[in-house]
Amino acid sequence: MPDAIAWFADIGIDDRPIAGGKGASLGELTRAGIAVPPGFVVTTCAFDQFLAALEARAPIRARIEACDPDDLAAVTALSRELRRRVEEEAMPAEVEDALLAAHRTLSGDARTPVAVRSSATTEDAADASFAGLQDTFLWVIDAADLVARVRECWGSLYSVESITYRRRQSFPEAGVAMAVVVQQMVDARAAGVMFTRSPTTGDKSVVTIEGAWGLGSAVVSGDVTPDHWVLGKITGEISVREISDKHVEHCPLARGGIEERAVPDERRHAPCLDDATLQVLREIGRRVERHYGAAQDIEWAVDRDGAVLLLQSRPETIWSTKPVAPVAESLANPLGHVMGVFGGRR
């Protein structure tokens, strides 16, 4: 049986079935030499062992397959019951030992806080976003807390939305599994997202960057209006620079977890990134895009020393799935094209 734990350096994008999309992508980035906070994946093998023990006590998968997705009350009751069972069931000893050993290695004597994030295996973007949307736990310090958070991530497979979606699509439960990413936490000075093409026009010649003060969760959750920049992907020229009023930021708590704080006045209207860092981000975006050969949707953070780290990169899905029309009609005689200007059809 494969290992319960897989370090980023040892996995790649093809390991999605055991590491989930997020985990496999972080492995791939690590291997490609892109700076990501170090970490490991609690693989689906660990989940499978855990679920087998749970199933042995009382059925889970059969219950889901039997439920009617249109009966919201029934699904809600089932979800509540199954999530409670997942969160209360002890981990198999060998899984827990491996997890705690890996955590000691990652966190070290400094007890570096970690992020715990669900990493769905499904190829289905909609499903992936249901299972795991809320299941990112930041600034986890305590080992026992870590174990509980991993179980919560597993339990997210049984959220009302996730169950309903799978039943509506008639997915077999047998293939459903969840990996969990455990990663050193970046004490972000600023964080946000980057698209390596324009989200509004689909233009592949620009990179769009959005960011705000503090941890990236403030941007992803929509708690703050981020600063917004558009850069020429090739030229680096900054064509759009919208500095917003960033009234709050997400900050870590010493005891673990995060809180929302008001941003002091002197920083509220100041850009959260300088031009040099924007250019570093652009270069990283181009590298990742070249690595995958496709436009990317990236989460990034800048640590207290100013280093840029990627927290996630996934293929851009809105524009890349649209049919592409030719820019202009192909003509044997290039002079025909000037009629577009001189013919008055502008």
Partner 1 sequence: MGDKIRSFPLPSSVAVMPGTEAAQAAYPYYTQFAPEDDARFWFYNSMHFPEPMHHFDMVTAEAAYCALGAFNTRVHILPTTKGIDHRIINGRVYIGGVAVTDPAEIAERVALFQQRAFYYYEHWERLYDQWKVKMKALIAEANGLPKVELPDIEPIETTHSGKGIAANHALLDTYRKQLDGYYRMWHYHFEFLLLGYGAYLTFFDFCKRAFPEVSDQTISRMVAGMEAEIFRPDEEVRRLARRAVELGVDGVFEEGMNVEQVFERLDALGNSGAAWRDELEASRNPWFNVNVGDGFYHYHRSWNDDLSMPFSALPGYIAKLHAGEPIDRPVEQLIRERDQLVADYRDLLDSDADRATYDQLITLAHRVFPYVEGHKFYCEHWYTNLFFNKIREFGALLAEHGFFAEEADVFHLTHYELESAIVDLSLAWSSGSQPLGPRRWPAIVAERKAAIATWAQHRVPPALGAVPEVIDDPAIVMLWGITRENLDSWLNEDGDDKGKELKGFAASSGVVEGPARVVTSAAEIGTLRQGEILVCQVTNPSWAPIFQKIAAAVSDIGGSMSHMAIVAREYGLPAVVGTGSATQRIRTGQRLRVDGGRGIVTILDEEKVAEHA
Only one of the segments 121-129, 182-190, 234-242, 247-255 lies at the binding site for partner 1 (rule: CB under 8 A); that segment is 234-242
Q: What token pair was written down for 119?
A: 């990493």
| Shortest Å, Cβ 211 to partner 1 | 18
For β-strands 188-195 and 296-303, DSSP reports them as: antiparallel
How near is the Cβ of 194 to partner 1 at its closest, in Å?
Answer: 15
Q: Are 32 and 293 in contact (CB under 8 A)?
A: no
Of 304 and 342, CB closest to partner 1? 342
As given in the structure block, the two tokens for residue 287 are 């590298």
- Contact residue for partner 1 among 191, 230, 258, 310 (CB under 8 A): 230
User: Which amino acid is present at 339?
Assistant: M
Q: Is 324 in the site for partner 1 (CB under 8 A)?
A: yes
Residue 194 to residue 173: CA distance in whole angstroms: 34
Piece of 8-16, 57-65, 81-89, 198-206 that binds partner 1 (CB under 8 A): 198-206
Task: Please tell me whether residue 174 binds partner 1 under the rule CB under 8 A.
Answer: no
Name the region of 225 (left: φ>0; alpha: ψ -120 to 50; beta: rest). beta
How many residues bind to partner 1 according to rule CB under 8 A?
36
How far apart are the C-alpha atoms of 346 and 326, rounded to whole Å?
A: 17
Listed in sequence order, the residues at least 6 apart from 72 whose beta carbon sits closer than 8 Å to its beta carbon are 160
Instruction: Give 204 or 247: the residue with its C-beta nearer to partner 1.
Output: 204
How many C-beta neighbours within 10 Å does residue 234 have? Answer: 11
Q: Beta partners for 229?
A: 209, 241
Subset of residues 46 to 105 that bind partner 1, contact rule: CB under 8 A = none
Pick the binder of partner 1 from 206, 224, 278, 288 (CB under 8 A): 206
In the complex, the smallest distance separating the C-beta of residue 35 from partner 1, rounded to whole angstroms, is 24
Q: Which region among 102-110, 196-204, 218-226, 301-309 touches partner 1 (by CB under 8 A)?
A: 196-204
Q: Looking at beta carbons only, is 63 or 286 nearer to partner 1?
A: 286
Identity at 301, one-letter amino acid code: A
Q: Does residue 340 belong to the site contacting partner 1 (CB under 8 A)?
A: yes
Q: Please, which residue, 144 or 342, has the CB nearer to partner 1? A: 342
**Does 322 participate in binding partner 1 (rule CB under 8 A)?**
no
The answer to the question of residue 269 lying near partner 1 (CB under 8 A) is no
Residues 6+ apart with CB under 8 A from 313: 25, 29, 34, 288, 292, 296, 297, 298, 299
- Report the candidate in 46, 23, 44, 5 with the shortest Cα–Cα distance to residue 175: 44
Residue 202 Cβ, how far from partner 1 at the closest point, in Å? 8
Residues within window 236-265 making contact with partner 1, judged by CB under 8 A:
237-241
**Amino acid type, 36:** V
198, 217, 277, 312: which one contacts partner 1 (CB under 8 A)?
A: 198
Residue 172 makes contact with partner 1 by CB under 8 A: no
Contact status: 204 vs partner 1 (CB under 8 A): yes
Pairing of strands 114-120, 178-184: antiparallel
User: Looking at 87, 235, 245, 267, which residue binds partner 1 (CB under 8 A)?
Assistant: 235
Candidates 187, 119, 174, 118; CA nearest to 149 is: 118
Query: What gap in Å lies between CA 3 and CA 41, rounded to an integer?
Result: 10
* Listed residue (200, 212, 306) closest to 268, CA to CA: 212
343 is a site residue for partner 1 (CB under 8 A):
yes
Shortest CB 340 distance to partner 1, Å? 6
User: Contact residues for partner 1 (CB under 8 A)?
Assistant: 198, 201-206, 230, 232-235, 237-241, 275, 324, 326-328, 330-331, 334-335, 337-346
